[in-house]
Amino acid sequence: MALTDTECKKAQPKDKQYRLSDLNGLSLKIDPNGNKYWTIRFTVNGQRKSKALGQYPELGLKKAREMANELKYKFSPLNEIEELKPIFREVAEDWFNNQKETWSHKHILNVRASLDELYVSLGDKHINKITAPEILQTIKKIEARGSLEVAKRTLSRCGMVMKNAIAHGYRYDNPASDLVCTLKNKRVKNLASLSASEMPEFLRRVKAYPSDAQTHHAIILIMLTGVRVSELLQARWEEFDIEGRKWDIPEERMKNGLPHRVPLTDIIIEELHALRLTHNQELLFPHRLNNKEPMRSETILQVIKRSGYAGRMTTHGFRSLFSTVVNESNLFNPDAIERQLAHVPQNRIRSAYNRAQYWDDRVRLMEWYGEQVKGWLRQI
């Protein structure tokens, strides 16, 4: 894809050297110190060559193209010159840097991990020379480790890099597009969860288990709020507006990358007040060895297991319980339930998202569910 003067002028330095590709093997290299210079890549007698043409902006785009054309014509009668396309790493970094502004921090880290996997075998290969079998070989190595979901995500991101290459004219096909059918399917296993009728006995056993007060409060609050365990354990006191009866979870901690609001009912507020008496740290649930880090979810899971519920209940099971009990009541708007669970349609326009949508319905929903939990607790 041809460069423009504006693109050349606006190109900013990054942590590592990168290049912007033009026509006939010409590219503009940008160093971390901000220096920009033209190079051309070609092959002669089967050997790859690279030649520096001059520094930008002293050597402008128009003149650099003329020099590149002259070099191409010099070798064209011998049919020896081959315009070399960028390597996979360069195209991938271009795609990554163009997209990351719209991603959450967690997603950026996940994509970076996928690209690092691909760079091991494909990073220095020219984008137009990479074949489907080469990609599959790389993905199968990940699959062989038992990381089936990682393999699928890595293949998907390889496909996005190839689409970027097609958009820039580096190749005309996507060799990653039809490989998903060759991967193993992960066996879907529902996370263990108890029914409402089992909760009084479960809560009795958990209360009898000799763990610290914070862990007990964590179990009750996970059950009451219906949030994911990480969203609770990483929570900070500053996120809670007790007077306004709401808890605002910032977008960087949400799975969908959107801010979420949870109504605070009387029983939730009571638990928060009791929890606050146990410590004065910024986190709701600080780690006992490092109060700057949150409690690990494994701590809660161990209490569940040692209370006799190994394989029958998980930390995510509280969320499943919440969904089942509220949905089966047939008392509430299904859309309000989904919003309270922070389930947002993938095609939802991010800028139009309203974390307080169906708020009145959700307040009533949470108050009703809180009464169900009180009923379970009264039976222990």
Whether 217 is catalytic: no
Whether 48 is catalytic: no
Structure-derived torsion over alpha carbons of residues 277, 201, 287, 267, reported in degrees to the nearest 10: -40
Whether 236 is catalytic: no
Spot the catalytic one: 65, 157, 261, 319: 319
Spot the catalytic one: 72, 141, 353, 364: 353
Spot the catalytic one: 72, 140, 246, 255: 255
Best CA proximity match to 30, nearest among 3, 8, 59, 49: 8
Q: By CB neighbour count within 10 A (0-12 exposed, 13-18 middle, 19+ buried), where does 293 fall?
A: middle
Spot the catalytic one: 153, 205, 279, 316: 316
Residue 169: left if φ>0, alpha if ψ -120 to 50, beta else—which one?
A: left
Give the rounded distance of the alpha carbon of 101 from its chain centre. Answer: 13
Identity of the residue numbered 316: H
Strands 246-249, 240-241: pairing is antiparallel
Whether 343 is catalytic: yes
Which structure tokens are listed for 314? 């998980």
Contact 244, 344 (CB under 8 A): no
Contact 46, 29 (CB under 8 A): no
Whether 89 is catalytic: no
Greatest Cα pair distance, the chain, in angstroms, is: 91
Whether 319 is catalytic: yes
Please enumerate in sequence order all residues whose Cβ is within 8 A of that of 270, keeping only pairs 6 or more positions apart, or say none. Answer: none
Contact 366, 266 (CB under 8 A): no
Spot the catalytic one: 228, 253, 261, 355: 228
Which residues are annotated as catalytic? 228, 255, 316, 319, 343, 353
